[in-house]
Amino acid sequence: MNLILFYLAFGIGTLAGSSFLYTLVIFSQSFPSFHGFSGIVFFFLFLPFPLIFLGTGYLLDRYSKKWVLFSFQALHVLAAFLVFYFADWLTQNPIFLLPVAFLNGIAMTTVLPGRMAILRDIAPHHRLVFHTIAGNLVLILFFGINPLIIGSLKESFSFSELFGLLGSMNIFSMFLLIFVRITEVTHKIEGIRFNFSEVKDFLLNDIVSRQVMYVAILTMLALGPIQVLLPLYVRDVLGLGEFSRGKVLAPLGIGLFFGGVLSMILHKRENKGKILLSLLIFSSVLFIGFFPFQKAWITSFSLFLFGIAGGVLSSLLPAILQKRAEDRVRGRLLSLYTVCFQFTPAVSGLVSAILGDAFGILEAFSYLGGFFLFASILSFFVYSELREA
């Protein structure tokens, strides 16, 4: 019962959090006089990750994970209700969306690792791997289907009402969390110590791990344009409404889910590096396939296949790092990987918004797609060590 209660809190909170990201982006795209503004909003949503990620592990190790999570999830509630109460005023003063996005980003830096840390504390030890995979699949699935859910709700509710609903969902998730029983052990830590020199030395000496980090960054670069430009493409080029836009974008989440399941099979195979680099090229081709035919079903099908490739990549890349990293640097290396994984889409989202504003949506997709395809093919031939790993 305790695990069921946690998964309910986990699922509701995850759906509310991922839906907030998507809703805030499309809300910022409703300001016709501020072209490219959604890219800046998306950037601010993830800006806290490289700024304060060092403190996240410290807080979760030093204090009660349950109440650290509760406190930071309260920032999600605050961000949602700020937009709920001031939606009309923000429409006239959109620059103030940026501190709201930053506030929500602060919450994200700790809420996600906090939930996964609690899951490790309450799951049976012999089922820990299963529950870790299950938690990741919940994250992936809700991230992908929230455009469909928000699109259907937007047909009947205003943006203000949507943010009020998302804030209320977070409150309900926090209420459930109160009743989750957790046996916690906190550690006395004198200060935050995060010596990058050891991680740097490890990456310099282990070329495969260094190439994994490069591929991870390249993989996540595509996610920024998908979050920022693709909703605009579906609305402005395909001319679809909110619900139809959600139906076009939702297959990405379904594909990510199947990709995560597929990675459980591929994880035991040899030559995972060759599989990863091949999938990187495949996903780059699919990225180019999002837009040139200007058909909704082709975009959806490409997103579904892209999601499968992305689900495998995002699961196997950290697995390779886990296997190769020495114990003394593993935690710090994975923390650095997480920052790259989360912050890279924010940068590429901002760049894609600038390109879309300067050259148009279709041209921006063409330039970005060409770059991704070139970089992925180059990686396949240059990263010979990873290819044989």
Which pLDDT belongs to residue 192? 47
- Rounded Cα distance between 112 and 86, Å, is 27
Between 341 and 35, residue with greater pLDDT: 341
pLDDT at 23 over 90: yes
Which pLDDT belongs to residue 253? 84
- Reading the block at residue 95, the tokens are 């620059």
Which pLDDT belongs to residue 188? 52
- Reading the block at residue 99, the tokens are 């501190």
Q: Which domains does the chain have, with CATH numbers?
A: 1-193 (1.20.1250.20), 198-389 (1.20.1250.20)
Residue 32 CB burial class (10 angstroms; 0-12, 13-18, ≥19): exposed
pTM > 0.85: no
The band of 341, judged by pLDDT with boundaries at 50, 70 and 90, is confident
Q: Taking a C-beta distance cutoff of 8 angstroms, is the pair 217, 340 a contact?
A: yes
